[in-house]
Amino acid sequence: MQIPIDTHTLPNGLRVTLSEDHTAPIVAVNLWYHVGSANERPGRTGFAHLFEHMLFQGSANVAANEHFELVQRAGGTLNGSTWLDRTNYYETVPSHQLALALWLEADRMGRLLPAMTQEKLDTQRSVVKNERRWSMDNQPYGTWWERLPALAFPPSHPFHHSLIGSMEDLDAASLEDVAAFFRTWYTPDNAVLTIAGDFEPAEALRLVGEYFGPIPRGAGRPALPSFAVPATFGDPAPRTVVEDDVPAARVLCALRSPVFGSDGWYDAQMTAAVLGVRRGSRLYRGLVRTRQIAADVGAYTFDLSRGSDLLVVDVMGRPGVPAEELERALHAQLDALQALGVEEGELARAQALVETDLIRALQGAGTRADRLSQFATYVGDPRRLNEEPERFRAVTAERVNAFAAARLVRENRALLVYVPRTASVAA
């Protein structure tokens, strides 16, 4: 199955991907800026995400929150999200509203700063602090997605620090920071724009040229610290035990793995599926179904594109099961795959699941656009999306075994262990 993909680059460096599909009168507009928490300077953790909030606070020709209102009034859906090494903004709208979605994105890419005020920044700072409390501080195990990257990358590494940010650093963020971050990173030559769905290419390109064409290229981006890390943690691999107000132990194991889009990344996807995706996976069969020491298991990658990705294996214990037992069982499963290799049937199962998921995901214009932007940003070519099925099919048992031998080793298992707080500690 192939989707049509056409690419263009504006003189200001904005890369544009078009993918036509006239099945339904729906069109998706999707912008990836190649900036995330990795680009934050010391003392400003959480800023990339706070900045994402500010992009909904208006621009020269759009009032605060009017972006949301105009898109919803047009019958569309929208949002944005921040990750370690990218930030995305997207709208899915009825196709006759394509111009509006493009115009809104261009107005904030070109003319954000006139709309920025201290009051808006203070309010969004407060919203984001509440987002931190809601998603992390007031949620059982909520700190895992701050703790795991901190465990898996050294302190100087761009992926080490918190994406949501510390309260202290959020307090320190200023309007000067907003201006500097915008001028440095939110430039057309640091972004990719994808339009997917029901549109006429000539008209879409005309609109893109009119709205985005005049926005000047950036003045250059500063070099970031090196993303390079060794392929494994070394002996002993990091391990952190967290006593928390949780009802059951949970063990999260992060393994350094090859970056998004590399051949090794496909090997990691297959290994993740064999280990922890759905009820037929090794960990589910072993820990959930047979031994009944875990309530659920999972395995997935962070999809990082620089230095190293992380393959995460996640084991949620049954209440009363000691963390040490979960850890031993997890190690035994990883040891077994590393020592004995994968069976052909397991690999066929993993490939069948991945293929269905891939095609299911392409049903929605928004997902199609987002994946095209992902490949354009991370590997420089959105056409890679059409190669996904064959790249997954090309993963052989030998490749999974080679991946397991290199990456499932003990010295590549960083462990984050949650244990229920004991009464004496809580007092």
Q: Which of 41, 81, 117, 134 binds other proteins (CB under 8 A)?
A: 134
Residues 159-218 that bind other proteins (CB under 8 A): 198, 207, 210-211, 214-216
Report residue 51 as tokens.
């900045």
Between 134 and 405, name the residue whose CB sits nearer to other proteins. Answer: 134
Between 349 and 391, name the residue whose CB sits nearer to other proteins. Answer: 349
Least separation in angstroms between residue 28's CB and other proteins is: 10
Q: What would you report as the CA-atom Rg of the chain, rounded to the nearest whole angstrom?
A: 23
Cβ atoms of 89 and 68 closer than 8 Å = no
CA dist 376 and 191 (Å) reads 9
The reply on whether position 138 binds other proteins by CB under 8 A is: yes
Closest CA to 70 of 92, 26, 100: 100
Cβ atoms of 102 and 211 closer than 8 Å = yes
Closest CA to 17 of 272, 379, 372: 372
Residues 213-232 that bind other proteins (CB under 8 A): 214-216
Cβ atoms of 198 and 191 closer than 8 Å = no
Q: Which of 4, 9, 63, 72 binds other proteins (CB under 8 A)?
A: 72
The reply on whether position 122 binds other proteins by CB under 8 A is: yes
- Laid out side by side, the sheet with 239-244 consists of 239-244, 414-420, 250-257, 309-317, 294-301
Report residue 388 as tokens.
């996904």
Q: Which of 278, 380, 394, 425 binds other proteins (CB under 8 A)?
A: 278
The reply on whether position 404 binds other proteins by CB under 8 A is: no
Q: Which of 362, 376, 395, 400 binds other proteins (CB under 8 A)?
A: 362
Tracing tokens 């859906």 back to the chain, one arrives at 77
Q: x/- string (CB under 8 A) for other proteins, residues 238-257?
A: -------xxxx---------
Report residue 94 as tokens.
């009825």
Q: Which of 6, 80, 116, 123 binds other proteins (CB under 8 A)?
A: 123
Cβ atoms of 193 and 205 closer than 8 Å = no
Handedness of CA 233, 238, 244, 247 (dihedral sign): positive
Least separation in angstroms between residue 249's CB and other proteins is: 11
Residues 298-357 that bind other proteins (CB under 8 A): 318-319, 345, 348-349, 352-353, 355-356
Piece in contact with other proteins (CB under 8 A), picked from 86-94, 220-228, 301-309, 409-417: 86-94
